[in-house]
Structures are given as C-alpha cells and as structure tokens.
Structure 1
C-alpha cells in the first residue's frame, strides 16, 4: 500500500506527552504536566457520577443526535438546536468543516502563531494556506488580514482566546474584523477557551450576515479532555448538515455526552475552575515578568513567552527534571514556550526549574 506523497510529507501534530509515556521513560510521574492545556483543577463531581452511570449502558450505541445535550446547549448558548454539531473533540470538526467547504482553487487564511490544525487540515486536502503574523504588541494584525481578505479566502480561521498565546479579541475588534470579511469567506472562530473570557461573540456573529462557525469544547475549562467532546455552533443548519455529512456516525460517545451534560449544569465547579485558573495564570505571568520575560497577555489557561534558546532544547531540559511544557515549533516562533497553567505547586516547580536553567528572555516584543 502506498500513502499519498502529500500525506507522507505532512508534519506530525505537536502533541503533549502522555503521563504514562513519561512514567515509562523516567520511572516516576512528572512534577508538573503543563504541556497540553488540560485543567489541573479536576472534573466536576457531577460529571464523574454521570459518566459512571453511563458506563453501565456502554453496550448500547449512543444517541447519534445527542438530543439531550443538544437541547441543553441550545438553551445555554441561545442558538437553534439544528445549528449545533458535535465532534470527537473540536479538532474533528475542523477537519470536517474543511472537507465540507473547501474545493480545488480555494485557500485558507489564518494567523501565526496559531493552532496547528487550522493549517494541517487544509494541507491534508492540498488546499493552500496563507498567513499573517502577530507582532510584538500581540494585537490581531487587522490591516494585514484586511489586505489578504481582498483575495477572498474560502475560510478565515482564527482563535480567541488564541492558541498558543491566549490573546483574546474584544467585541470591538471582532466587529471590526467582521466588517472586513467578504461574503464569500466563512469565518471559523475557534473558541476552545471561551469560558475563560466569556464575551458576547455569538451576538456579534449572529448579526454579521456572514457564514460562520464557532468551535467550543468540553476539553478545557470543563475538564473533560479525555472524554473527547467538542461542538460547533453554526450560522445556519446547512453548514451544520455539511459538517455532519463528513463526520462519522456516533462520533460523540454516550459516556462523553452524559459527562458533558452534567458538567454544563455544574456552574459552581466551572466558576471555581475559572477563578483558580485565572488567579494562577496571573501569578505565573507576574513571576515571569519579574524574571524579565514578556509573556503574551493571556486570557486562556496558558502563558506563551520567548526565551533566548531553542524551545525544543529547553523543553527537553525541563523534562529531565520532571517538568512538561510545550515547545512551540512554528516557523519564526521556535524559541517560544507554551506553558499550561497548573496549580500553585506545579507553577512553582516550573518557575524554580527555569531559574536553575538560567534562561534568558528573547527579543520578540521589540520587533
């Protein structure tokens, strides 16, 4: 069997290291697992209980329409139930959306640094990707995007709060961007970290007149990364149906559906997670600034900053002392680290380790 040459040439996804892999290599658990933007503040007890009950029905196929969860999300987000689509994580929905919308001759526009699958999913389809880059002020490069939007990309893919930086658009910035998007372009607004910065993006999208998809997930603030359940909120049912035609049936398993439904109802746990994460993120960012690093202004559950060294080498040195972080390897950003926000003891272990390494700040903010 021969794999298509363009598939063989694709880069591997830059994933974090699973705990079991670390334990197999080092013979003990890591001191701090800060490489995958998981929440370290736990899963809702209500969700755990719901998942345990759902396991007893694991011999049955799940509800392929996720009827109960769809209804709950429609009320929660104030959207029509027939505009909601589910995926095995929001990553699956990126691939499905691209497959449903893109055709030969189209191209995708996105920003860098950015979530790798916004680019990788297009390359799988041999669709060109054009990019604009954030600068040292970490403001969305609206003027550069506006120039490239005149070329009428089929999809504009951006995230807010962004991955990896955590930078979030204000409503005014989003409305300004929307005003520049031609009607031929679908806006993919990746909001995996929405709960950490819950502003009225849907209200702006609903009156935009554009085709759009907002991607959200239960993996981050809701603490269900292992259950794998993301969802898309679409501007109309036609886009939802197009995505569903690409996704496999039963891609939202019954245990994930049950856990997500209960997690959605557990507002106290979500609020506690967001409060603790936000407090720990600001403390971590302040500590980095005291060390003369300049982290991007994050509104997510991670911080992103540059050192004077190659990020892969730094991550390997940290791994040797039990600290897992994400080395960023996107062209032009190879000296940046993305560090998930942990509990205070994990953040302290990370900070202690980089002090011992003697890391120096980089110079991106002066460019």
Structure 2
C-alpha cells in the first residue's frame, strides 16, 4: 500500500517525531511505501522515504497549517494514498497519532474566555473536532489514558475509535552490559568526580518541561549539596531566558544547556537523577527511557507516564497541585539518599526486563495497516 504521513515539522530529537519515524519504518518493513508531507525536515531522510516539502507560507502558524492541509489534500487528490496518517490534528485523516493533549480542554481551563473569540482558537478547535468529533471516521492512536476522557467529554468520541498503545521505548535506552564502563568514560569526559552529583533534564520546549522549576530546586539545595551538584539541560529551545534565570539564582557554572543530540543514552547512564517537573506533558517518554537505563526519576504528576515511576518504584512523583517547596524538598532527599537511589536503579532495570514498554511502533502499524481500504485522500 501507499501510506501518506502528515506532520508539520520533523527534527531528530522530538519525542513525537521519533515515534513517527519508528512507526513509518515499521510499516515500511512490512512492504509498504512511505510518503511524508512536511513543512520542514531536519536531518537525514531514511532510505525509501518520499519526503514532500509543502511550499506554503503565512504570517501566523495557524494560517500556515490551514494552507498546508489544503495543499496536501490537493496533492492527495492527484496522487492518492491508501492510508493518511496524521501526527498533527487536521481534517481528512484515516488515523491520528495523539501526541498532543486536548486543545479544547486547555482552552477552557487554562485560558481567559476571550481567547476563544480569536482566529487561532477557531482554527485549532475546528482541526481537533475534525479528528475527534462523533461524525469523524478517524481512528485514534492514544498514548495517554489520561487524555482520552477529556476528548470524550468535549466531543463525545465513540470509544471504539480509540486504540491505546503501549509505550515505545527504543531498545538502545536500556542499560547495556558495559553500562559501568560507559558511565566512567562519560563522567571523565565531563570532569565529574566521585563526589559530584549530576542531574539531567531532557526534552524540547524548556518552558513546558519546567526547566525554571528545576533551576529553582537546584538553587534551593543546602550549600554543601548544591556545590556538589550539576544540572545538564538537553533539548531544542532557546536557552537564553533560562541562562539568565540561572545567573540570577547564583548557579553560575553549575548548569549547562546542550542542544538536542543523539548520544542521550550516555547521559542517562552517567547521571544520578533525571528531573522532569513539567507543567504539561501528554506522556513523557524520557521518564521511561531513564527508568530502563537504571536512572532514578523525579517528575511531576501531570506527566502521562508518571505512573510508571510508581509502578516500577524507580523514583518519586511530585503530586498535584504542584508546589515548588515540595519539589525542592524531594530533590534534596533523593540526592542525599544513596541507598534509595541504588534501590530505584535496581527496580528500574528489573522493570525494563518484564514490562511491555517497547512495542508501540508495531502495535501502531497493526492499526494503520488493518483498517479497511479507503482509496484515501485527506
């Protein structure tokens, strides 16, 4: 079959983008042709992929997305696909991968009512309704059980159209047999001594991921503990406001900001703790990546995958409603309790061996390829 995948932007280090790539490759491995419609593509194009750059421009993102959808629909009318799979919400999809939380719920609970009078709201609300409305035929690949009730509440989406997927953690995130050697090499490279404690925070979108909260928690550590602790923040975003915050908090050289990179597993093996106090997080794949690497996790309860931390007993979760003082206290406790960190590490490694944390691409491909033929155009 000819499969068409739609996503606005591809870059190698985004969680949704990595999921897209592995799902598309799982479909390709079963003998199907892959066409991808994007506004921008960063990085190498996999062998056999047809990447179509959609040549539209607009002064605002939502107008550009509308033009993108119109252009893709016109191209699919000329060159039909058997399945149209979207990783952003838009009309005409056979399958939607629900990487993003419910827009309507956020608009009604987190925004001023006047927000719903604007053109941006009208666009995103209409594109979401096109996917989740009761009259839509789009099948929905859910990765967060927390979000499904919100879509049902706002749109009355039939339960039969939801397909809850297991996580899709890449196998290279599991601790390898030579993990200790990799850790020693990593810590030597970054000049980390035996007494030094390394926190890592990984993810694009520093504001949403709560980097400001992490900086406050680091600054709140007792003096002796703070002097032993470093924070490395890795992801695609502008670090300038957070560097300014770090300087204001007197953190100086205790914080490093690194761009997205392909050797994240080394950081998971070389650190003492992953910190992820996100404001909003549909899933939080990095939480599971840390767990299976044997790295204890401290995360906020809003993360869709936070329950895995408790299921595995591989760290701690800051409950809602979030309180900065509670994060500060929990971070200090986790950094000073070497025995607890060893226990959480062992629990995470054991959990990695028996839990289904890896089959998302294959299960998603089962749904995509198992649908009745549509003759599809978006």
- Whether the TM-score (by the shorter chain) exceeds 0.5 is no
TM-score normalised by length of structure 1: 0.30
Greater relative contact order structure (CA < 8 Å, 6+ sep): 1
